[in-house]
């Protein structure tokens, strides 16, 4: 799963991050990930629906009140 929680407003030492990490945090990188996620979801909707359903079952097994 992609971590979208990071922001540029957080203090990040750009010297210690890789170019891939800097791209991931940029607006262009976030848009690219959203586009890829959307394309993946639309490619095979039945398979994706099954993946999401299984994921939610695992999450509810950990926490009965998750997403309710």
Q: CB of 48 within 8 A of CB of 41?
A: yes
Mean per-residue pLDDT of the chain? 84
Whether 2 is covered by a domain: the verdict is: no
Number of domains in the chain: 1
Q: Report pLDDT for 50.
A: 96
Q: Express as a percent the part of the chain with pLDDT over 90.
A: 57
Q: How far apart are the first and last CA of the chain?
A: 21
Q: Report pLDDT for 66.
A: 72
Whether 67 is covered by a domain: the verdict is: no
* Rounded Cα–Cα distance for residues 12 and 25 (Å): 10
Those residues of the chain that have pLDDT short of 50 are 1
Task: Determine the structural domain holding residue 44 and report its residue range.
Answer: 19-62
Q: Would you tell me how many other CB atoms lie within 10 Å of the CB of residue 22?
A: 13
């Amino acid at each position: 799963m992609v971590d979208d929680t990071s922001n540029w407003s957080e203090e990040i030492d750009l010297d210690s991050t890789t170019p891939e990490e800097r791209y991931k945090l940029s607006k262009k990188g976030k848009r690219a990930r959203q586009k890829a996620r959307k394309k993946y979801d639309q490619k095979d909707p039945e398979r994706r629906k099954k993946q999401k359903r299984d994921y939610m079952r695992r999450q509810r097994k950990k926490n009965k009140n998750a997403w309710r």
